[in-house]
Amino acid sequence: MDKLIIEGARKLQGEIRISGAKNAALPLIAATLLAPGWHVIHNVPDLRDTRTILALLETLGAEWKREGSTLLVKTDSLNNFEASYELVKTMRASILVLGPLLARMGKARVSLPGGCAIGARPIDFHLLGLKKMGASLDLEDGYVTASVKKKLSGGTIYFDVPSVTGTENILMAAVLAKGETVIKNAAREPEITNLVDMLISMGARIAGKDTDRLTINGVKSLKPAEITTIPDRIETGTYLIAVGTAGGEANLTHCNPSHLPSLIEKLRAAGLTVKDSGNSIYVSRPAKVQSIDIKTQPYPGFPTDLQAQLMALMSLATGLSVITEAIFENRFMHVAELKRMGAEIKINGNSAIVKGIAQLKGAQVMATDLRASASLVVAGLAAHGVTEISRIYHLERGYEDMAGKLKALGARVRKEKE
């Protein structure tokens, strides 16, 4: 296992290129299961999670090759319909193969993801939705086995709260179903729009793009897609926050600032200069950062995937900040680690009260999940002394070449074997 060593308290300066979005690439890759022929997906980040979903597709009989950041995937000879525990346990998003496998093969067996570091994270919406579309479901031995006699059929599906992968799974199931499917209270994250664009380019009939009501009229068959993965808004946000925390200025290119409305507004309120120029974004920290309050919400609200990183920024701000996590229970795993670096944080239910201090101090800390790890990197860049972050495989799940990008911004970081 590798650890990341950061010599902190150095301002960041420079320009980096933002990669394609992990959370968009995963459903785009899963959607290749819907049609034979070579699919072409551009701007795919090379991450542990994208490798995991490709390994999963290989076990189903798919072929793939990478040409730079372009991925070619062919799913003509599918000969298996099971996603094993070994793969699902390393990445919950493996559940994304359930909808497309059921639509294309009429059956799917997927290991249940179980609990994870950031709460129970059930998949009941995915299952209820598929049931409404006529699937028979069996839960046994930690697996869900889904099958359908002839074809899935359309239905009306209402999500109690908008679920990102739930919406994606039902979308992928519905495009080949008989009749009309309506998803009410659908999630509206930009990654879903990216998937809708891919499915439409394959011949799917979907109305309501970018809204919380998606109407899908099933078609008999689909053709292979050519699509570009949208830029990673969470990676973009993480580097914006890193510059805000460590100080300095940076230009992030190949990104889409319009996908970060709430973060940009909050960073400006905290005193950062953020200039959006279409597909790049400039950030600098001219003065002391002011405390701000945030509450995580579904898109376009403040993303839960940036909550931990923003907490690192607030731990060095002037004043008190209340950070409320309203999407996942138990998503404060980073708090104990930030406190090891000197942060003053109290947890009260699903809120964290952060009292800004003048200086964080480097420490040995442990990464517990992907975004918690990112918050420790942000804190480590600003902290005085050396921060050693162990278990950085979490970071490698979602950040392409993070050490390289930080070095390009002038940070002193290196990877070492633990």
Question: Which residues are marked as active site?
Answer: 116
> Should residue 122 be labelled a site residue for ligand UD1 when binding is judged by CB under 6 A?
yes
Strand partners, 253: 17, 280
Q: Other C-beta atoms within 10 Å of 134: how many?
A: 17
Instruction: Compute the least distance from the CB of residue 268 to ligand UD1, in Å.
Output: 23
How far are the Cα atoms of 74, 264, 332 from residue 324, in angstroms, in the given order?
Answer: 43, 18, 10
Minimum gap (Å) between residue 32 Cβ and ligand UD1: 16
| Segment contacting ligand UD1 by CB under 6 A, of 33-41, 118-126, 146-154, 251-259 | 118-126
Give the whole-angstrom CA distance, residue 13 versus residue 10.
9
Q: Which of 39, 126, 285, 394 binds ligand UD1 (CB under 6 A)?
A: 126
The residue among 189 and 249 lying less far from ligand UD1, judged by its C-beta, is 189
Confirm or reject binding of residue 48 to ligand UD1 (CB under 6 A): no
**Closest Cα to residue 225, out of 350, 41, 51?**
41
Q: Which of residues 81-110 bind ligand UD1 (CB under 6 A)?
A: 93
For residue 394, the minimal CB distance to ligand UD1 (Å) is 13
Q: Name which of residues 261 to 320 contact ligand UD1 (CB under 6 A).
A: 304-305
Residue 188 binds ligand UD1, judged by CB under 6 A? no
User: Taking CB under 6 A as the criterion, which residues in 347-376 touch ligand UD1?
Assistant: none
CB of 14 to ligand UD1, least distance (A): 27
By C-beta, is 47 or 335 nearer to ligand UD1?
47
**What's the CA gap between 243 and 391, in Å, rounded?**
23
- Tell me which of 64, 81, 125, 332 binds ligand UD1, using CB under 6 A: 125
Give the torsion through C-alpha atoms of 132, 135, 139, 140, to 10 deg: 170
Range in contact with ligand UD1 (rule: CB under 6 A) among 101-109, 123-131, 194-202, 210-218: 123-131
Q: Is 10 in the site for ligand UD1 (CB under 6 A)?
A: no
Count the alpha carbons within 13 Å of 146 in the hemisphere toward its beta carbon: 31
The binder of ligand UD1 chosen from 76, 124, 141, 344 (CB under 6 A): 124
Residue closer to ligand UD1 by CB (options 82, 191) is 191
Stretch that binds ligand UD1, among 8-16, 119-127, 150-158, 197-205 (CB under 6 A): 119-127
| Stretch near ligand UD1 under the rule CB under 6 A, chosen from 59-67, 120-128, 178-186, 263-271 | 120-128
Nearer of residues 195 and 413 to ligand UD1, judged by Cβ: 195
- Rg (alpha carbons) of the chain, rounded to whole number: 21
List all residues 6 or more positions away from 42 whose beta carbon is below 8 Å from its beta carbon.
20, 69, 70, 71, 226, 227, 228, 229
Min CB(234)–ligand UD1 separation in Å: 7
Q: Does 251 bind ligand UD1 (CB under 6 A)?
A: no
Beta-bridge partners for 251: 15, 282
By CB under 6 A, is residue 214 in contact with ligand UD1?
Answer: no
Q: How far apart (Å, rounded) are the C-alpha atoms in residues 398 and 45?
A: 9
C-beta closer to ligand UD1: residue 128 or 408: 128
* Cβ proximity to ligand UD1, 255 vs 317, nearer residue: 255
**Nearer CB in complex with ligand UD1: 107/121:** 121
Residue type, 298: P
Nearer to ligand UD1, 239 or 282 (CB): 239
45 touches ligand UD1 by CB under 6 A:
no
> Which of 241, 327, 335, 389 is close enough to bind ligand UD1 by CB under 6 A?
327
Q: Binding residues for ligand UD1, per CB under 6 A?
A: 23, 26, 93, 121-126, 161, 163-166, 187, 191, 304-305, 327-328
